[in-house]
Amino acid sequence: MEKNAKALRTIDYPKEVGPVPEGKKPVLSVRNLAVSFKTDEGSVRAVRGVSFDLYKGETLCIVGESGSGKSVTSKTIMGILAPSAHIDSGSIIYEGEDLTKISEEEFHRIRGTKIGMVFQDPLSSLNPIMKVGKQITEVMLINGNRVKKIYLDTINDTLIRLKNDQRLVSLAKSELKLKNGSKSLSKEEKAANVEAYREMKAKMAPKIKEDKVALRAKKAEGRKKARAYRLACFKDYRQNALPLLWKAAVSLVTGGFSEAYGAFIGAHRRYVSKLRVSHKEAKRRALTIMQEVGIRDPERRYNQYPFEFSGGMRQRIVIAIALTADPDVLICDEPTTALDVTIQAQILELINRLKKARDMSVIFITHDLGVVANMADRVAVMYAGKIVEYGTSEDIFFRPAHPYTWALLSSIPDVDSKERLEAIPGTPPNMLFPPKGDAFALRSRYALGIDFKEEPPMYELSSTHYASTWLLDERAPEAEMPKIVSTRIKNSLKREEERKNGLR
Ligand SMILES: Nc1ncnc2c1ncn2[C@@H]1O[C@H](COP(=O)(O)OP(=O)(O)O)[C@@H](O)[C@H]1O
Ligand SMILES: [Mg+2]
């Protein structure tokens, strides 16, 4: 290896993550996210400065042993953290909105419709005493108010623009600073902070007022549009449905009542379905989605309870529920861990297929790097609440650079050579006391003295590939990755080559 021949550049991670690749569009940008839990023993630092971009139409796999902070990261994105959790820092930008700052109500709008989540254990996300069909349609019916949707669609852009005004954000930040950082400051410093905040606020006052007026106007416009829609529906009803009711009344005397009444009911249903998603429509869509996720005989399955399904089929139902809202982003947190190997492969294939068909972006979380190979466009390797290496799938599988990634790679059982599985020695650290420096050093035979003192910077191996290990420093001694890993890489590169030649 000649990596140490010249000094590698470093980036200011987790503030930045490197350039956006050409032709790629970030859908979700997480920056410097830190989350901790208050417990009786102290503060558990579950996530400690995580940053990544999820690009449109791609799958990002987050890989790491149990306890590395994967689920806490995904729960923070979904806004479903336990009450004892605290977001210490960071932002999660989705469509220009910072999900860590928006209100509960707005969060529902995004969580319910734009970002879907699939959990490890399908049983815990299904209601055991409700038929699966009802569980699928329930969400559609809840989100199915079309009048409200017109209103929300109208005000959405303005809301995002105002909320993300940098000046307002810095005002909020300086207010926060007043609240939090008061202990270590002198009286004079405190007073200066208060003064700075007041000044800023005074300067912003006209702007804030202007914003309020703009938003009020937009809201009025939204209400007007929603009302106009409702009135148009009602007008249509008066013109087309009510006469049918009159006819039906007349038919009580003249005969043919049931036909006439049926016609009225049809028109009435059409009216209602213009205002909200009807049960019939929801059922139709549920059956289509059940088919889409590979559930055979959906008509019959629709009326069954979760316990009548196998584990794999249950996970398909959970995926179906997540799809009902047509999400842009699907977060799958170890969706196959509870399933046996063949079923696991089928679910992975399903997720891949859905991603392509629906042009979704996927965050796929797993502790098993072996699962990742056929799924990931990009991989982020997580350890002790931090991302220690990230790159394209090829970067991680063919040019791994962090000793922890090496360790994960050596622990994948190899189907070809039947090589022994090398378990990673030791256990992940207790996040009540996050280790200093490189957290993996305690378990790594590659550890250097500096690893126990200072955290390594994020080295840029290429424009897509980054790793945080002192081994990449120009002053570090040569370090070869474990034989088992380099042999595997050599073999799979050889196979790749042969495959290419064979095709030619
Ligand atoms: N509700 C909680 N209270 C206290 N600590 C928690 C809680 N949830 C998670 N943690 C801690 O946060 C860390 C990361 O957990 P998690 O994100 O679930 O790991 P992963 O999903 O990678 O297995 C662990 O140390 C875990 O013990
Ligand atoms: Mg987890």
Give pLDDT tens digits for 57-95: 999 999 999 999 999 999 999 888 888 999 999 999 998
pLDDT of residue 415: 61
Ligand 1: nearest atom to the Cα of 82: 1
Which of 71, 80, 386 should be mutated for ligand 1, with most atoms under 8 A from CB? Answer: 71
Residue 236 covered by a domain: no
Q: Whose CA is nearest to atom 11 of ligand 1?
A: 46
Residue 238 covered by a domain: no
Whether residue 340 is found in the same domain as residue 309 = no
Q: For residue 81, which ligand has an atom nearest its CA?
A: 1
Whether residue 351 is found in the same domain as residue 498 = yes
Counts of helices then strands in the chain (DSSP H, E): 17, 13
pLDDT tens for residues 104-135? 767 777 776 789 999 877 777 888 889 999 99
> Could you tell me which of 431, 430, 426, 472 has the C-alpha nearest to residue 450?
472
Whether residue 415 is found in the same domain as residue 496 = yes
Cβ of 428 below 6 Å from ligand 1: no
Whether residue 197 is found in the same domain as residue 290 = no
Query: Which of 289, 305, 324 finishes a domain?
Result: 324
- Number of Cβ within a 10 Å radius of residue 337: 16
DSSP characters over 357-419: HHT-EEEEEES-HHHHTTT-SEEEEEETTEEEEEEEHHHHHHS--SHHHHHHHHTSPPTTT-P
Ligand 1: nearest atom to the Cα of 385: 14
User: Which range (3-17, 326-340, 364-378, 465-479) has the least confidence?
Assistant: 3-17
| Residue 272, CA atoms < 13 Å, CB-side half-sphere | 11
pLDDT of residue 88: 95
Residue 256 covered by a domain: no
pLDDT of residue 1: 44
Cβ of 64 below 6 Å from ligand 1: yes
Residue 261 covered by a domain: no
Per DSSP, the three-state class of 248 is helix
Whether residue 212 is found in the same domain as residue 300 = no
Task: List the structure tokens of 383.
Answer: 């350890």
Cβ of 67 below 6 Å from ligand 1: yes
The CATH number linked to 416 is 3.40.50.300
Whether residue 53 is found in the same domain as residue 198 = no
Whether residue 447 is found in the same domain as residue 415 = yes
pLDDT tens for residues 193-250? 888 888 888 888 888 888 889 889 999 999 999 999 999 999 999 999 999 999 999 9
Phi, psi of 379 (to 5 degrees): -130, 135
Domain count, the chain: 3
Q: For residue 333, which ligand has an atom nearest its CA?
A: 2
Q: For residue 69, which ligand has an atom nearest its CA?
A: 1
pLDDT tens for residues 472-485? 999 999 999 999 99
Whether residue 306 is found in the same domain as residue 331 = no
Mean pLDDT value across residues 315-330:
93
Cβ of 289 below 6 Å from ligand 1: no
Query: Which of 300, 324, 348 finishes a domain?
Result: 324
Whether residue 9 is found in the same domain as residue 87 = yes
Residue partners of 230: CB distance under 8 A and separation at least 6: 147, 275
Biggest alpha carbon–alpha carbon distance for the chain: 100
Which of 33, 37, 40, 432 should be mutated for ligand 1, with most atoms under 8 A from CB? Answer: 37
Whether residue 401 is found in the same domain as residue 503 = yes
For the chain, the straight-line distance linking the first and the last C-alpha, in angstroms and rounded, comes to 31
Q: Residue 167: give the domain boundaries.
A: 145-226
Residue 252 covered by a domain: no
Over the chain, what is the mean pLDDT? Answer: 89
Alpha-carbon separation of residue 371 from 66, 120, 207, 305, 335 (angstroms): 15, 14, 51, 30, 11
* 342 Cα–ligand 1 center, Å: 29
Place of tokens 């069909």: 133
Residue 136 covered by a domain: yes
Residue 23 covered by a domain: yes
> Could you tell me which of 380, 335, 375, 334 has the C-alpha nearest to residue 353?
375
Whether residue 288 is found in the same domain as residue 139 = yes
Query: Do the Cβ atoms of 51 and 3 come closer than 8 Å?
Result: no
Q: Is 504's pLDDT higher than 70?
A: no
What's the pLDDT band for 452 if we cut at 50, 70, 90?
very high
Cβ of 43 below 6 Å from ligand 1: no
Question: For residues 224 and 89, what is the distance between their CA atoms, to the nearest angstrom?
Answer: 39
What's the pLDDT band for 164 if we cut at 50, 70, 90?
low
Query: Three-state SS across 132-200?
Result: HHHHHHHHHHHCCEHHHHHHHHHHHHHHHHHHCCHHHHHHHHHHHHHHHCCCCCCHHHHHHHHHHHHHH
Which of 431, 432, 433 should be mutated for ligand 1, with most atoms under 8 A from CB? Answer: 431
pLDDT tens for residues 252-287? 999 899 999 999 999 998 898 888 888 889 999 999
Mean pLDDT value across residues 154-174:
74
pLDDT tens for residues 333-350? 999 888 888 899 999 999
Residue 243 covered by a domain: no
Query: Running DSSP on this structure, what letter comes out for residue 452?
Result: G
> Could you tell me which of 112, 132, 109 has the C-alpha nearest to residue 122?
132
